[in-house]
Amino acid sequence: MNEKMTFCEECRKDVDYSAESVTMKGTLKGEEYEFIGKKAVCAECGGEVYAAKIEDENLKALYDAYRQKNGIILLEKILEIPQKYNIGKRPLSLLLGWGEMTFTRYCDGDMPIKQYSDVLQRIYEEPAFYLSLLEENKGNLKSQTAYEKSKRATVELLGGQKTAASKVDEVIGYLLFQCEDITPLALQKALYYIQGFYYAFMNSFLFTEDCEAWVHGPVYREIYNRYSSYRFNPIESNNEFDVSVFTGAEKAIIDSVIQNLCCYSGKILERFTHSEMPWLKTRGNLPADAHSNRTISKEAIGEYFSAVKQKYNMLTPNDIENYAQVMFSRSIKS
């Protein structure tokens, strides 16, 4: 049926209708409100007809009149907030310390109490206020990715330059885009191998960050802190990624590490690193379960992976497969 058709009691058939603006009154929460609404008019007899769409619009107009008189934020503004700050409805509720579905209910038309409305109105009007909430309450979010995306959007709103991701952040973003169910442990090892093999092929390091020789293998401390809340669980994946941030050589090496090493679990990759010179040399005579913040030098990483490339006669990044297979065979025998 045509959207602009309804049943006319007078004509006794389905008819086209038009909408006319009229002043209306309605009662909400025991109080009467006047608002500009609409009435549906039969195109044939000119009589007033019932149209569900018109009734829904009138109900919304009544609620808007209530909101305006009582200082409650308009629904349109509520719906704009997640888009404006690039954050989901549930994460926003958690950020504000509300029930997980509270903001979703407000988006569906539920009326926020005055206290919550005032917070939302200020968020809508003041990006700086929202940014302060984001920084103060980021621990409420289940995803570091949600925090980072929302912060970038807010900084741009405030007139700041779009924050350029560091190379290690770009690599992490790509890993979370390409790899399913990657845990914090596996992520650490993937970064280590990308750093090592990139040096072997390009004679330079892909990112500047240093890793440390922890009990469970090489660890980039800041990255560990960023994703520690996931513990042994997979990190939330990225739904999209712009691969143009990488050169052809960068992408080829990262893709080969993903294909040939990220197919193994974090625990298997941990075993690999425990038999490799950079971690062993840095740990020295430390007991196996001793905590350490000793930095694995880039020089040690570069020397080791350059030697690996030569030993396994690696001509292209695809040849990393040979090393991975040998290391896996050793790990299951040990």
Identify whether the C-beta of residue 4 lies closer than 8 Å to the C-beta of residue 42: no
Q: Can you give the pLDDT at residue 166?
A: 79
pLDDT tens per residue across span 35-53: 889 999 999 999 999 998 8
Half-sphere exposure of 9 (CA within 13 A, CB side): 6
Of 111, 100, 29, 35, whose CA–CA distance to 78 is shortest?
A: 111
Q: Can you give the pLDDT at residue 1?
A: 46
pLDDT tens per residue across span 271-327: 999 999 999 999 999 999 999 999 999 999 999 999 999 999 999 999 999 999 999
Distance CA 207, CA 282 (A): 20
Instruction: Give percent of the chain with pLDDT exceeding 70.
Output: 97
What per-residue string of b and e applies to 221-254 under the rule 16 or more CB within 10 Å gives b?
Answer: eebbebbeebeeeebeebeeeeeebbeeebebbb
Alpha-carbon 111 to chain mean position: 28
pLDDT tens per residue across span 145-203: 888 889 888 988 888 654 456 799 899 999 999 998 899 999 999 999 999 999 999 99
Residue 116 has pLDDT above 50, yes or no: yes
Q: Can you give the pLDDT at residue 165?
A: 63
Please, which pLDDT band fits residue 57 given cuts at 50, 70 and 90?
Answer: confident
Please, which pLDDT band fits residue 6 given cuts at 50, 70 and 90?
Answer: very high
pLDDT averaged over every residue in the chain:
91
Question: Which residue segments constitute the domains of the chain, with CATH numbers given?
Answer: 5-70 (3.10.20), 75-157 (no CATH), 167-333 (no CATH)
Q: Parallel, antiparallel, or unpaired for β 295-296 and 211-214?
A: antiparallel
Half-sphere exposure of 58 (CA within 13 A, CB side): 20
Distance CA 48, CA 18 (A): 10
Residues linked to residue 25 through DSSP beta bridges, in sequence order:
34
Residues linked to residue 7 through DSSP beta bridges, in sequence order:
14
Q: Can you give the pLDDT at residue 162?
A: 47
Q: 193: buried, middle or exposed (CB in 10 Å: 19+, 13-18, 0-12)?
A: buried
Q: Which residues contact 276 (CB under 8 A, 6 or more apart)?
A: 304
